[in-house]
């Protein structure tokens, strides 16, 4: 065979081998690591495209490989939307909405110690029953000066507060009447537990100058401990039955620390208060975005009162209910104020409320078990039976009284500031209590960091079923 023929055969062989190699390379798919954030963020976008109240104002998202919290935030219509939030764990979100948290069982308000320094102190707002804080003997009005030996300041208090979900030590002082001032107490060490808080904090009946007054302190709206429980709503029914049996003719409802919760519990409580209300009377109306409002089930969503045998409405003098408020009174509390106003005089004592007339639904990704996130986007706006919804700046009080202007007294003490003001208005007689006025700068509160704060959880079964159907349809097409 000639050299020319040999070269020709070698060339053909090389070409054939190259072609086979290329074919094999084409058949073998490159191994790629798929970013799990893509599936999570795609789910977030699909839900938001369906339900977000400000659909036309929703922003262009960042890359779908971003952290889900950042991706969700990039969609929101800030600053108009003050309340949409995302949580890393859906089940923890649901637990929190029902008052189940890992905590030591106390809430507090932060104040500047003095205008001449940057120190921050914490005044305990209330202690939760059965909690480590209750066992340790802490009381409302105690002032925390140090946490884990560290003095809080304007610069470090957020970092210090981040340690409260672990075992921590409090240095505090307590007002002692016999001493006429605050006295240092022994340090206490607290270990957080999984605590189930009961929102029905206190109820009392007073007879003062011939007036019979019922008083109830309610800290958040939850029907029960979850999974269909209605234990808390049932307890509220029992409280009102007790008021009714006692023949009260004035009612004071304390919402000063109530940042919201489930609409179903708001309906339950409002149905115990409103005069002549029943399941033929409208408590609230709900409106959604332009996409959702095209469906018949979502065009005219109304929530009616319940028929409650424990209802007090017709027994209340001057057709009036007194509600105690603060800047941390929000969402479902404001829904009650707005929903009762067409039916009675709702007299507010305290400070201007938060101003939240919009509601949420919690969403989880049921199609992707790897996605643990839960989102609480704003999906609706609430109106009363007269189509009124103009309280985005909050409800101003009929009688102003700022809790920061006095040291805290126990809940139920007739000399406690907000309760005292209500009793004085009811009886027309000043209490005569000698009170030291304080001038303090409010820095914040642990209540504002609660999952439930500022949340109005929409529970209309027909509307929620339709929205769920739409979400599932999208998920099945994913």
Q: What is the pLDDT of residues 292-344, one digit of tens each?
A: 999 999 999 999 999 999 999 999 999 999 999 999 999 999 999 999 999 99
Cα Rg of the chain (Å, integer): 29
Residue ending a domain, choose from 51, 81, 97: 97
Over range 147-172, report the average pLDDT.
95
Kindly list the distances between the CA atom of residue 261 and the CA atoms of 40, 239, 241, in Å, as whole numbers in the listed order.
26, 20, 23
Pairing of strands 85-87, 211-218: unpaired
Whether 9 is covered by a domain: the verdict is no
In degrees, rounded to 5, the angle at the alpha carbon of residue 367 between the alpha carbons of residues 363 and 370 is: 90
Greater confidence, 10 or 218?
Answer: 218
> CATH number, domain at 201?
3.90.226.10
45 with 118, same domain? no
112 with 62, same domain? no
pLDDT tens digits, one per residue of 381-426: 999 999 999 999 999 999 999 999 999 999 999 999 999 999 999 9
88 with 131, same domain? no
> Which residues, 6+ apart, have CB-to-CB distance to 420 below 8 Å?
414, 431, 433
pLDDT, position 115:
85
Element (H, E) at 471: helix 461-476
**Are 310 and 241 a contacting pair, CB within 8 Å?**
yes
Gap between the Cα atoms of 456 and 467, Å rounded: 17
88 with 130, same domain? no
- Count Cα neighbours of 100 within 13 Å in the Cβ-side half-sphere: 12
Whether 28 is covered by a domain: the verdict is no
Per-residue pLDDT band at 23 (split at 50, 70, 90): very low
296 with 249, same domain? yes
Whether 209 is covered by a domain: the verdict is yes
Quick check: 28 pLDDT over 70? no
Per-residue pLDDT band at 33 (split at 50, 70, 90): low
The total domain count for the chain is: 3
pLDDT, position 202:
98
Per-residue pLDDT band at 477 (split at 50, 70, 90): low
**Are 378 and 81 a contacting pair, CB within 8 Å?**
yes
Residue ending a domain, choose from 156, 178, 193: 193
Residue ending a domain, choose from 422, 438, 454: 438
What's the residue count for the chain? Answer: 478
> CATH number, domain at 126?
2.30.42.10
pLDDT, position 401:
96
Gap between the Cα atoms of 261 and 220, Å rounded: 6
Quick check: 3 pLDDT over 70? no
What is the torsional sign of CA 264, 270, 272, 274?
negative
Per-residue pLDDT band at 280 (split at 50, 70, 90): very high
Whether 251 is covered by a domain: the verdict is yes
pLDDT, position 478:
53
Whether 453 is covered by a domain: the verdict is no
pLDDT, position 20:
47
214 with 128, same domain? no
Over range 138-142, report the average pLDDT.
98
The verdict on whether omega for the bond into residue 79 sits within 30 degrees of 0, i.e. cis, is yes
Whether 429 is covered by a domain: the verdict is yes
Per-residue pLDDT band at 345 (split at 50, 70, 90): very high
Whether 4 is covered by a domain: the verdict is no
285 - beta bridge partners?
Answer: 302, 383
**Are 138 and 106 a contacting pair, CB within 8 Å?**
yes
DSSP annotation of 253 reads E
77 with 146, same domain? no
213 with 274, same domain? yes
pLDDT, position 71:
98
Over range 145-162, report the average pLDDT.
94
Nearest by Cα to 105 from 138, 154, 153, 148: 138
Nearest by Cα to 427 from 213, 246, 239: 213
pLDDT, position 31:
42
Quick check: 176 pLDDT over 70? yes
Per-residue pLDDT band at 431 (split at 50, 70, 90): confident
287 with 319, same domain? yes
- Which domain range does residue 88 map to? 36-97
**Are 289 and 54 a contacting pair, CB within 8 Å?**
yes
Quick check: 475 pLDDT over 90? no
289 with 245, same domain? yes
311 with 383, same domain? yes
pLDDT, position 7:
39
Average pLDDT, the chain: 91
349 with 391, same domain? yes
């Amino acid at each position: 065979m000639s050299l020319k023929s040999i070269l020709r055969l070698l060339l053909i062989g090389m070409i054939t081998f190259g072609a086979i190699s290329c074919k094999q390379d084409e058949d073998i798919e490159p191994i790629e690591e798929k970013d799990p954030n893509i599936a999570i963020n795609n789910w977030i976008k699909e839900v938001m495209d369906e339900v977000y109240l400000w659909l036309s104002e929703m922003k262009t998202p960042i890359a779908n490989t971003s952290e889900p919290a950042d991706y969700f935030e990039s969609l929101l219509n800030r600053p108009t939307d003050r309340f949409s939030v995302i949580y890393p764990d859906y089940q923890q979100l649901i637990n929190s909405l029902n008052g189940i948290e890992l905590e030591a069982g106390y809430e507090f308000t932060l104040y500047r110690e003095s205008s001449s320094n940057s120190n921050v102190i914490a005044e305990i707002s209330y202690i939760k029953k059965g909690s480590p804080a209750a066992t340790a003997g802490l009381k409302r009005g105690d002032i925390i000066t140090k946490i884990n030996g560290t003095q809080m300041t304007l610069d470090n208090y957020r970092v210090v507060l981040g340690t409260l979900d672990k075992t921590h030590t409090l240095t505090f002082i307590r007002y002692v009447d016999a001493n006429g001032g605050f006295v240092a107490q022994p340090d206490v060490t607290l270990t957080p537990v999984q605590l189930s808080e009961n929102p029905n904090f206190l109820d009392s009946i007073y007879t003062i100058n011939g007036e019979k007054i019922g008083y109830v302190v309610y800290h958040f709206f939850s029907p029960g401990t979850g999974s269909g429980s209605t234990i808390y709503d049932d307890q509220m029914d029992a409280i009102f039955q007790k008021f009714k049996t006692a023949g009260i003719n004035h009612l004071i409802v304390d919402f000063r620390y109530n940042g919201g919760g489930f609409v179903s519990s708001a309906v339950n409580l409002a149905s115990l208060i409103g005069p002549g209300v029943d399941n033929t009377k409208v408590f609230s109306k709900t409106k959604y975005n332009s996409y959702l409002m095209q469906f018949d089930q979502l065009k005219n969503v109304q929530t009616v009162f319940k028929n409650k045998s424990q209802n007090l409405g017709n027994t209340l003098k001057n057709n009036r209910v007194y509600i105690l408020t603060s800047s941390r009174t929000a969402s479902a509390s404001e829904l009650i104020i707005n929903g009762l106003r067409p039916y009675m005089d709702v007299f507010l004592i305290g400070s201007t409320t938060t101003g939240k007339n919009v509601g949420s639904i919690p969403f989880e990704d049921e199609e992707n078990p790897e996605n643990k996130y839960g989102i609480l986007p704003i999906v609706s706006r609430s109106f009363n039976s007269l189509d009124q919804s103009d309280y985005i700046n909050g409800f101003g009080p009929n009688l102003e009284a700022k809790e920061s202007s006095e040291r805290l007294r126990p809940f139920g003490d007739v000399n406690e500031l907000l309760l005292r003001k209500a009793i004085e208005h009811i009886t027309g007689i000043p209490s005569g209590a000698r009170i030291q006025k304080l001038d303090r700068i409010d820095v914040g509160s642990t209540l504002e960091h609660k999952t439930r704060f500022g949340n109005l959880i929409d529970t209309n079964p027909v509307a929620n079923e339709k929205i769920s159907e739409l979400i599932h349809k999208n998920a099945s097409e994913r």
